[in-house]
């Protein structure tokens, strides 16, 4: 039983967190790579339907279950963990290595969890480990951003867990399964909790706030796991929930708008995560087999090209010391290989033919059209224009092509970074040229050919038109420094008033209550210290006024004592 338990991919990766500190520093980076490779091997060995069960008290748990959907997400999590580990091979910071491995283990655990209790445990492991990759940068900004990130994910995890408990109390089931499209309290709590991790608007600001402030290598892992595990859970639990179509459309357009406006490489790429996840959420809301396949395939490809783009952006930041477009420019000759590798990622995310994004984005757009959502299909095509404009043209042009006259001294880039980027770029092209290599692993049967003449011509026309518009307005898109305000501006402006009411106000209330209780207790202590005066009204033959005064004192003391007892019970 123990041996079988240790072969669960998520458990194996978490075990690595305990083994890495026992190894010499010189071998830790290499040993790190063994764990995602071993996890990938286990995933490919397990047949569909394979399960590992366990028991906690009287509850039966499914610690591991294998099916096509779990497999495709497990595969890409392992592949991304491997490429990100290669990219970070030169890093010797043990805390980052442990956090990254634990983060990967949490994501892998979510993908193969067969019950909601196991899933929420891995879900919270992800939140705890990922925040370390933000704090590890060590700046004041990263410390504060990490705390805001943690608050968001504690909130999201709390909502998700509350929904799980409510769902279990009503149904008696902990199975990770498709839920009926009903707005019950349990369903809404679970959906809200998952939506936080998926960066659904308006719960998205943690992503654009924290990812640019993480370490260079940590951002590669963060771009991969949190939002994609949320997509996996949505596919598993909320397929066909039509409300998700509207959420997804808002995400695609909202993310694109900010990606066009922002002037920092990692901010642009962070907002693009929101936009790309929006495509997946739309497909989940459509809920047809083709759309769900498109969502899974797009998540798979997104980890490849988004990871590649973050790697290229990180390489620029590593070499130049900044990721702000206003301080860059003209790096094409000095960093030609980084430029070329980034272009592969940029063309992939833009959905150009022969690149990975083309074979999955088209599936989502066509899936929406075939299901009767023609208006949504047109909005997704519009979002595609913004994607190519911002990350396919603007970002590489002002980083590598346009010479702003900045004097930049570049540090040499470690060879392992090039290897990781090269591997990711190869896979982006491989799946773009041979889409069946991915389609074979998708959860539903389908007959889809992305390379129809109509689809090819449509994408090329849109892309060429976008390029013409960009070239005409390129001076307007220069990397001038701007302050971009998102919805977190509202949250931060409301923070002082919220703190005044819910922190200071509560503290002051309990301070006053505590003072009153202590004073009352002291008063009663003095009165009960000598009980004889209390009996005087009934034993001594004093005048009537004295007896009345003493009696009232007894009554008031009794009232105070009763109120004190009731107050204590209420506060408990």
Same domain, 220 and 75: yes
The CA R_g of the chain, rounded to the nearest whole Å, is: 29
Same domain, 48 and 119: yes
Burial class (CB in 10 A: 0-12, 13-18, 19+), 27: exposed
Residue where a domain terminates, one of 238, 260, 286 = 238
**What's the rounded mean pLDDT across residues 318-322?**
93
Q: What is the pLDDT of residue 143?
A: 94
CA distance 103 to 351: 29
CA distance 471 to 473: 6
Contact 75, 43 (CB under 8 A): yes
Contact 228, 296 (CB under 8 A): no
Report how far apart, in Å, the C-alpha atoms of 322 and of each of 131, 317, 414, 418, 546 are.
Answer: 22, 5, 17, 19, 85
CA distance 554 to 108: 68
Token pair belonging to 512 = 């006053």
**What's the rounded mean pLDDT across residues 63-82?**
96
Q: What is the pLDDT of residue 523?
A: 74
- Give one word for 400, left, alpha or beta, with left for phi > 0 and alpha for psi -120 to 50: alpha
Q: What is the pLDDT of residue 476?
A: 73
Q: What is the pLDDT of residue 446?
A: 83
Indicate whether 111 pLDDT > 80.
Answer: yes
CA distance 317 to 220: 13
Number of H helices, E strands in the chain: 25, 2
Question: For the chain, what is the mean pLDDT?
Answer: 88
Residues in the chain: 572
Question: What are the residues whose beta carbons fall under 8 Å from the beta carbon of 451, sequence distance 6 or more?
Answer: 353
- For residue 137, the SS3 value is coil
Question: What are the residues whose beta carbons fall under 8 Å from the beta carbon of 211, sequence distance 6 or more?
Answer: 219, 222, 223, 266, 269, 270, 273
Question: What are the residues whose beta carbons fall under 8 Å from the beta carbon of 310, sequence distance 6 or more?
Answer: 219, 220, 223, 266, 269
Same domain, 145 and 261: no
Same domain, 466 and 524: no
CA distance 547 to 526: 20
Same domain, 270 and 392: yes
Same domain, 318 and 229: no
CA distance 428 to 296: 16
Instruction: Give the phi and the psi of residue 182 in degrees, each rounded to 5.
Output: -130, 135
**What's the rounded mean pLDDT across residues 466-495?**
73
Domain region containing 565: 491-571
**What's the rounded mean pLDDT across residues 329-342?**
92
CA distance 275 to 268: 11
Indicate whether 542 pLDDT > 60.
Answer: no
Q: What is the pLDDT of residue 548?
A: 47
Q: What is the pLDDT of residue 533?
A: 59
Place of tokens 């209390």: 534
Q: What is the pLDDT of residue 500?
A: 72
Q: Virtual CA dihedral for 191, 196, 202, 204, nearest 10 degrees?
A: -150
Question: What are the residues whose beta carbons fall under 8 Å from the beta carbon of 406, sequence distance 6 or more?
Answer: 327, 328, 329, 330
Report how far apart the first and last C-alpha atoms of the chain are (Å, whole number): 44
Same domain, 459 and 333: yes
Q: What is the pLDDT of residue 473?
A: 82
Same domain, 335 and 293: yes
Domain count, the chain: 3
- For residue 51, the SS3 value is strand
Residue where a domain terminates, one of 238, 257, 283 = 238
Residue 507 pLDDT level (bands cut at 50, 70, 90): confident
Q: For 95, what's the count of Cα atoms within 13 Å in the CB-facing half-sphere?
A: 11
**What's the rounded mean pLDDT across residues 453-467?**
90
Q: What is the pLDDT of residue 564?
A: 57
Same domain, 528 and 475: no
Same domain, 496 and 560: yes
Same domain, 41 and 190: yes
Q: What is the pLDDT of residue 244?
A: 96
Q: For 298, what's the count of Cα atoms within 13 Å in the CB-facing half-sphere?
A: 31
Contact 396, 339 (CB under 8 A): yes
Q: What is the pLDDT of residue 561?
A: 59
CA distance 6 to 123: 19
| E strand intervals along 420-540 | none
Residue 556 pLDDT level (bands cut at 50, 70, 90): low
Min mean pLDDT across 16-20, 255-259, 460-464, 532-536 is at: 532-536
Residue 541 pLDDT level (bands cut at 50, 70, 90): very low
Place of tokens 């909130």: 155
Positive or negative torsion for Cα 204, 268, 84, 237: positive
Residue where a domain terminates, one of 214, 238, 262 = 238
Q: What is the pLDDT of residue 518?
A: 80
Q: What is the pLDDT of residue 409?
A: 87
How does DSSP assign 155-198, residue by residue? HHHHHHHHHHHHHHHHH---B--PPPS---HHHHHHHHHHHHHT
Same domain, 269 and 392: yes
Contact 226, 197 (CB under 8 A): yes
Q: What is the pLDDT of residues 211-226, one digit of tens each?
A: 999 999 999 999 999 9
What whole-number percentage of the chain has pLDDT above 90? Answer: 71
Place of tokens 């598993």: 236
Catalogue the long-range contacts made by 480-486 (C-beta closer than 8 Å, 24 or more residues apart): 480/263, 480/326, 481/263, 481/324, 481/326, 482/261, 482/263, 484/258, 484/261, 484/262, 484/267, 486/205, 486/208, 486/209, 486/258
Indicate whether 535 pLDDT > 60.
Answer: no
Report how far apart, in Å, the C-alpha atoms of 476 and of each of 260, 457, 470, 472, 473 are.
Answer: 11, 29, 9, 9, 5
Candidates 282, 409, 266, 433; CA nearest to 347 is 433
Report how far apart, in Å, the C-alpha atoms of 358 and of each of 389, 437, 463 are.
Answer: 16, 14, 12
């Amino acid at each position: 039983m123990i041996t079988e338990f240790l072969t669960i991919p998520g458990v194996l990766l978490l075990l690595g967190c305990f083994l890495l500190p026992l190894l010499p520093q010189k071998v830790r980076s290499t040993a790190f790579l063994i764990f995602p490779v071993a996890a990938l091997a286990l995933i490919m060995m397990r047949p569909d339907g394979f399960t590992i069960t366990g028991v906690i008290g009287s509850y039966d748990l499914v610690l591991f279950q294998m099916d096509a959907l779990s497999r495709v997400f497990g595969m890409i999590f392992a592949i991304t963990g491997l490429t990100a580990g290669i990219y970070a091979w030169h890093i010797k910071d043990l805390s980052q290595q442990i956090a990254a491995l634990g983060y990967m283990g949490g994501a892998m655990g979510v993908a193969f969890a067969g019950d909601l209790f196991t899933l929420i445990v891995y879900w919270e492991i992800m939140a705890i480990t990922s925040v370390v990759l933000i704090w590890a940068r060590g700046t004041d900004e990263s410390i504060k951003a990490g705390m805001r990130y943690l608050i968001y994910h504690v909130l999201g995890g709390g909502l998700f867990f509350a929904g799980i408990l409510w769902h279990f109390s009503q149904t008696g089931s902990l199975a990770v399964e498709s839920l009926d499209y009903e707005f019950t309290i349990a369903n809404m709590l679970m959906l809200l909790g998952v939506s936080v991790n998926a960066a659904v608007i308006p719960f998205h600001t943690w992503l654009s706030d924290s990812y640019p402030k993480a370490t260079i290598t940590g951002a590669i892992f963060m771009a991969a796991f949190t939002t994609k595990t949320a997509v996996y859970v949505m596919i598993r639990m909320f397929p066909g929930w039509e409300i998700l179509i509207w959420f997804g459309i808002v995400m695609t357009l909202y993310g694109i708008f900010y990606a066009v406006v922002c002037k920092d490489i990692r901010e642009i790429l962070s907002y693009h995560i929101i936009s790309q996840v929006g495509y997946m959420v739309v497909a989940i809301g459509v809920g047809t087999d083709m759309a769900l396949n498109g969502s899974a395939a797009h998540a798979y490809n997104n980890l490849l090209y988004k990871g590649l783009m973050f790697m290229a952006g990180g390489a620029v930041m590593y070499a130049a010391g900044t990721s702000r477009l206003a301080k860059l420019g003209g790096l094409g000759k000095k960093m030609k290989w980084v430029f070329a590798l980034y272009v592969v990622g940029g063309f992939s995310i833009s959905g150009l033919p022969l690149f990975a994004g083309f074979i999955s984005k088209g599936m989502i757009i066509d899936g929406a059209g075939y299901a009767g959502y023609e208006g949504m299909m047109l909005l997704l095509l519009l979002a595609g224009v913004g994607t190519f404009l911002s990350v396919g043209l603007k970002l590489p042009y002002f980083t590598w092509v346009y010479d702003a006259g900045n004097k930049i001294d570049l540090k040499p880039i470690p060879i392992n970074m090039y290897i990781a980027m090269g591997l990711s770029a190869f896979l982006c092209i491989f799946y773009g040229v041979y889409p069946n290599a991915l389609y074979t692993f998708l959860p539903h049967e389908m007959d889809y050919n992305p390379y129809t003449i109509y689809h090819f011509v449509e994408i090329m026309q849109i892309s060429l038109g976008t390029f013409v518009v960009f070239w005409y307005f390129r001076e307007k898109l220069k990397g001038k420094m701007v302050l971009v305000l998102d919805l977190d501006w509202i949250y931060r402006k409301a923070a002082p008033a919220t703190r005044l009411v819910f922190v200071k106000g509560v503290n002051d209330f309990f301070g006053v209550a505590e003072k009153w209780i202590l004073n009352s207790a002291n008063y009663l202590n003095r009165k009960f210290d000598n009980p004889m005066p209390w009996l005087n009204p009934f034993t001594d033959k004093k005048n009537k006024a004295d007896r009345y005064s003493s009696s009232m004192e007894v009554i008031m003391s009794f009232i105070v004592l009763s109120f004190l007892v009731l107050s204590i019970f209420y506060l408990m």
